[in-house]
A = this chain, B = another copy of it.
Amino acid sequence: MTDSCLVSKLSHYIDLDEPDRSLITRLEKRERDFPRRHVVREVGDEARMLYAVRDGWLFSSTTMRDGRRQVLQFHYPGDIIGIPDLAFSSATVTLETLTPVCLCPFPKTALDDVFVETPRLAALLFNLGMVDHVVLLDRLRAISRFNAQERISHLILEVVSRLRITHPEIGAHFELPLNQNMIGDAVGLTNVYVSRSFKGMEETGLIRRRGRMLEILDEDDLRRRVGFEDRYFSVDTEWLPRSA
């Protein structure tokens, strides 16, 4: 077992000591692989487990009665997923893989140990939960008030900024493994209008595309246009309790 994504994400924020690391290792003991396009769990399923993402991308979504889907979040290596369902006995969202994925499942009750044994780590998880919350608030604002091109721009910026936590080397050029239907379902547009918007953005000189490779031509400019804040970058860990 090489180094864990969870450890590498968390130590991006604080120094982990031995008890922290061994606790995390305990959480990541089991592993399970899933193929591309696999439903890990659906709305209404029993929600006793959480999963640490070791490798691959996933997304969570809900479907309305008329069949339209809303993509709620994307999940990357180092994330713990299923956390929002912590407070419910059955899943509130559907978790589905986007690429082949390796997950480390552990029961909710294992979080007990984190809270009891390593308060500092528990507080960090809380903190990161709040980061996700703020990211979601940003997206709410974007979907509610931006036009199509702005929404898509916002989503792209959100995705790169998250990727850079674990892959700081990512520059303006990267792969976006999402089809236009998925993008539409994430920002509240139809695939048709996503296509038109992409075309428009390419003509304006905001981006360049080749297949799923995407190039952001002027990231600062793009950020300014949508008032994008990189929430993952500057996280306040000052208030966390000192390690025991």
What are the residues of chain B within 8 A of A29 when measuring CB–CB? none
Task: Check A133/B236 contact, CB under 8 A, given A92-B229, A123-B112.
Answer: no
- Rounded to whole angstroms, the CA-CA distance of A83 and B123 in the bound complex is 12
Q: Given contacts A88-B234, A112-B239, are A70 and B119 in contact (CB under 8 A)?
A: no
Residues B145 and A68 in contact, CB atoms below 8 Å apart:
yes
Cross-interface CB contact of A87 among B119, B131, B227, cutoff 8 Å: B131
Query: Residue on B with the closest CB to A83?
Result: B130
The chain B residue with its CB closest to the CB of A113 is B241
**Once the chains are docked, how many angstroms separate the CA of A64 from the CA of B108?**
39
Q: Is A172 an interface residue (CB 8 A)?
A: no
| A contact face: mostly helix, strand, loop, or mixed | helix
A159 within 8 A of B: no
Per assembly, the copies of the chain total 2
Find out whether the CB atom of B134 lies under 8 angstroms from the CB atom of A238.
no
**Chain A residues within 8 Å of chain B by Cβ, number:** 56
Q: Which residue of B lies closest to A112 (CB)?
A: B241
Choose among A127, A136, A144, A238 the residue with the greatest number of B CB atoms under 10 Å from its CB.
Answer: A144
Enumerate chain A interface residues (CB-CB to B < 8 A). 62, 64-65, 68, 70, 72, 83-89, 92-93, 107-109, 111-112, 115-116, 119-120, 122-123, 125-134, 136-137, 139-141, 143-145, 187-188, 227, 229, 231, 234-236, 238-241
